[in-house]
Chains A and B, each alone.
Chain A
Amino acid sequence: MMSALLLGVLASSIMSGTSLLFATIGEIVGERAGIVNLGLEGIMLVGAATGFAATALTGNAYLGVGAAALAGTAVNLIFAYLVVTRRANQLATGLTLMFFGLGLSALVGHPFVGTLIAGLPKFRLFGLGRMGDPLFSYDFLVYLAVPTAVAVWWLLFRTAWGLGVRAVGESPVAAVAAGLSPGRLRYQALALAGLLGGIAGAHLSLALTLTWAEGMTAGRGFIAIALVIFAKWNPLWAIAGALLFGGAESLQLQLQAAGADVSPFIMNMIPYLLTMLVLIFWGWSRQTAAPAALGRNFVGVE
């Protein structure tokens, strides 16, 4: 009884944590470059809608993921143009991006609402698990999530490009002095962030629910933004954060199914209470861990 509950929670956390992880890693890349993107929700929606549309049209969910990644990149590059080249306020532009993504995704997804797709195929890796066991049989994005987090960590902390991105996020002036181009690096970082955000959205529509509905991310983009703080802007910690939040949501649903004697209203609040606690207790000291130039536009050296 208890093990069924734990296994169920684990399987469900992994499934719902995957899209959160991709979104969080993407946002980390952008924020390491000094750009806070509040429009992550919009990017995820565009990814979900485009991925679903492409899958419905081609019958191939992998192509759908590719289309979602491209769409996310394209939309985030619009955001990049606005905040980097035009130096618009990042917070306001981010929120605008969210509404833009909401509308664009609705437009793209509208002809496909109600379409039935097969979704991303699930398979076992290395023969894990017993036959028929729901655990350990996932789509390729789940298996790629943690390696992607590690790859992005390596990219940010072990490559020259990553060093440049982080330098721009700490002090664009110093970066210019070192011969780097903050604008170019920010564009590149945001392109990567858009790609990952689009994939995050695609996992929702192509693996988790196999549908498209307007606004289906239901606030996950904002949860990811909070998780960036929890993760101290480090992709490796993001793995724990995504699993924790994905776990919180799965846990409350699994506990309900198991018959927990707690009001369903309180149960549904659990993931958001957890996020708030995280922000209160961890956000405090982690303010100093944020990239120094986060949120500030770079207008050039005199």
Chain B
Amino acid sequence: MARISVFMAACAALVTVLLAVAPLSAQQKPPLIVGAIFVGSVNDYGYNRSMKDGLDVMKSNIPGLKLIEAENVPETAESQRIMEGMIGQGAKLIFATSFGHQQFAFNLAKTHPDVYFEHAGGWMMAPNFGNFFGNTQSAWYPMGVAAGKMTKTNTLGFVVGVPIGYALGNVNAFEMGARSVNPKAVTRVVVTGGWSDKAKEAAAANALIDQGADVVTMHVDSPATIIQTAEGRGVYSIGFQSLTARQLAPKGWITGLGFTWGPFMTQIAKSVIAGTFKSASVHEGLGQMIAIAHFGPAVPPDVRTLVMASADKVEKGFNPFTGPVTDNTGVVRIPAGQSWGGDKMGNFDWYVEGVIGKAK
């Protein structure tokens, strides 16, 4: 008799506790679970860091949002497996942050119509699959202005990972910006053949510096190795991908470009929560998805003013790729009266006058 009453009391206590806890755990349910995959490490002071920072901004803007991340996800079918695992954990929005993840994310979009996907740097579209990237080319113009003013040897160095049209466009805008303030400035280009090969990037930076470059910049996944090499050799550097790269060159940093994905990612996450997701190909430029980094200590105030004025021009719509534009073999590529808009940025297979290098 006594044992039964103890048992009943225990049951009553258990039920009370469960009832008390139940509404609490209902409050704990996150408004959205977001999955994100990175092709490399987020500690790269580069592309992956910029993606991570954007996701953190999104997370801080939506209280309770849960973020599942996976670094060093290769651009192979493995990525599909990893994204599928995130969906299994309840993710309703997946950010596939590297170009090579596109097909695999797209495959999952077809088999999971209730999950939304945002891919960086591609073109595929579906009702639950969108694409986004920053229009970097015109943003490089003010970087060229900075380099053109700071260089003493009139030789600038640019390390390119893979010579795709967008990367060549970056080099071209850079050189045009430099020429606009320094008609004698030339840009030497070295292609390493891959987006991330540290030893080659160090050797490439050294090669450019050996050829007289005193300002070095890059379009690779992580600017870290190149900036550190430049700093070690005592030359200036201009960063790309992430604003955090500035920390790597306390003396030689001039300025840099960094992606600011946060507002866009927040907007997408909010649209998924509200059920208003619209598939789109979103490309934003300087002032939206791209920002200019703080200047380094070596940059004098007049150069800073010049660079910011140039950036302002770009944000207000200035397009450096307005004809006539001649390439470095003398051929007119953009005739007078024409200009190349954002949709043509992938079409570059030539370098402008003043760039020393072979495009293909």
Q: Which residues of A lie under 8 Å from residue B207 when comparing CB positions?
A: 8, 12, 250, 253-254, 256-257
Q: Which residues of B lie under 8 Å from residue A211 when comparing CB positions?
A: 198, 224-225, 228
Q: Which of A89-97, A140-148, A233-241, A260-268 contacts B (4 or more CB under 8 A)?
A: A260-268
B168 CB to closest chain A CB (Å) equals 11
Q: Which residues of B lie under 8 Å from residue A106 when comparing CB positions?
A: 72
Q: Which residues of A lie under 8 Å from residue B203 when comparing CB positions?
A: 12, 15-16, 208, 249-250, 253
User: Does A287 belong to the interface (CB within 8 Å)?
Assistant: no
Knowing A256-B189, A259-B188 are in contact, say whether A213-B41 is a contact too (CB < 8 A): yes
A260 to B188, CA, bound (A): 11
User: Does A7 belong to the interface (CB within 8 Å)?
Assistant: yes
Q: Which of B141-149, B307-315, B352-360 contacts A (4 or more CB under 8 A)?
A: B352-360
User: Does B84 belong to the interface (CB within 8 Å)?
Assistant: no
Q: Which residues of A lie under 8 Å from residue B202 when comparing CB positions?
A: 208-209
A14 CB to closest chain B CB (Å) equals 12
Q: Which residues of B lie under 8 Å from residue A260 when comparing CB positions?
A: 358
Q: Per a CB cutoff under 8 Å, which of A115, A214, A254, A265 touches B193?
A: A265
Q: Which residues of A lie under 8 Å from residue B188 when comparing CB positions?
A: 257-259
Knowing A211-B224, A211-B225 are in contact, say whether A257-B199 is a contact too (CB < 8 A): no
User: Does A59 belong to the interface (CB within 8 Å)?
Assistant: no
- Does A214 contact B208, Cβ atoms closer than 8 Å? no
Q: Which residues of A lie under 8 Å from residue B302 when comparing CB positions?
A: none
- Does B200 contact A218, Cβ atoms closer than 8 Å? yes
- Interface size of A by CB at 8 A reads 42
A262 to B360, CA, bound (A): 8
Q: Which residues of A lie under 8 Å from residue B356 when comparing CB positions?
A: 259
A61 to B135, CA, bound (A): 41
Q: Which residues of B lie under 8 Å from residue A292 when comparing CB positions?
A: none
- Does B204 contact A253, Cβ atoms closer than 8 Å? yes
The residue on B at minimum CB distance from A264 is B191
User: Does A294 belong to the interface (CB within 8 Å)?
Assistant: no
The residue on B at minimum CB distance from A213 is B198
User: Does B131 belong to the interface (CB within 8 Å)?
Assistant: no
Q: Which residues of A lie under 8 Å from residue B233 when comparing CB positions?
A: 134
The residue on A at minimum CB distance from B226 is A209
Q: Which residues of A lie under 8 Å from residue B357 when comparing CB positions?
A: 256, 259, 264
B169 CB to closest chain A CB (Å) equals 16
A237 to B43, CA, bound (A): 40
- Does A268 contact B193, Cβ atoms closer than 8 Å? yes
- Does A4 contact B210, Cβ atoms closer than 8 Å? yes
- Does A12 contact B206, Cβ atoms closer than 8 Å? yes
Knowing A257-B188, A257-B190 are in contact, say whether A214-B72 is a contact too (CB < 8 A): yes
User: Does B296 belong to the interface (CB within 8 Å)?
Assistant: no
A254 CB to closest chain B CB (Å) equals 5
- Does B41 contact A214, Cβ atoms closer than 8 Å? yes
User: Does A114 belong to the interface (CB within 8 Å)?
Assistant: yes
Q: Which residues of B lie under 8 Å from residue A264 when comparing CB positions?
A: 160, 163, 191, 193, 357-358, 360
> Which residues of A are in contact with B by a Cβ distance under 8 Å?
4-5, 7-8, 11-12, 15-16, 106, 110, 113-116, 134, 204, 208-211, 213-214, 216-218, 220, 249-250, 253-254, 256-265, 267-268
14 further A-B contacts with Cβ under 8 Å, apart from A7-B210, A218-B197, A249-B200, are: A4-B211, A12-B207, A134-B206, A211-B198, A211-B224, A213-B198, A217-B199, A218-B194, A253-B200, A257-B210, A262-B358, A264-B191, A264-B193, A268-B191
Could you list 12 A-B pairs, sorted by A, with CB under 8 Å? A8-B206, A15-B203, A113-B44, A116-B228, A209-B225, A211-B198, A214-B40, A258-B211, A259-B188, A261-B358, A264-B358, A268-B192
Closest 6 CB pairs of A and B: A114-B43, A8-B210, A264-B191, A268-B193, A257-B207, A259-B356
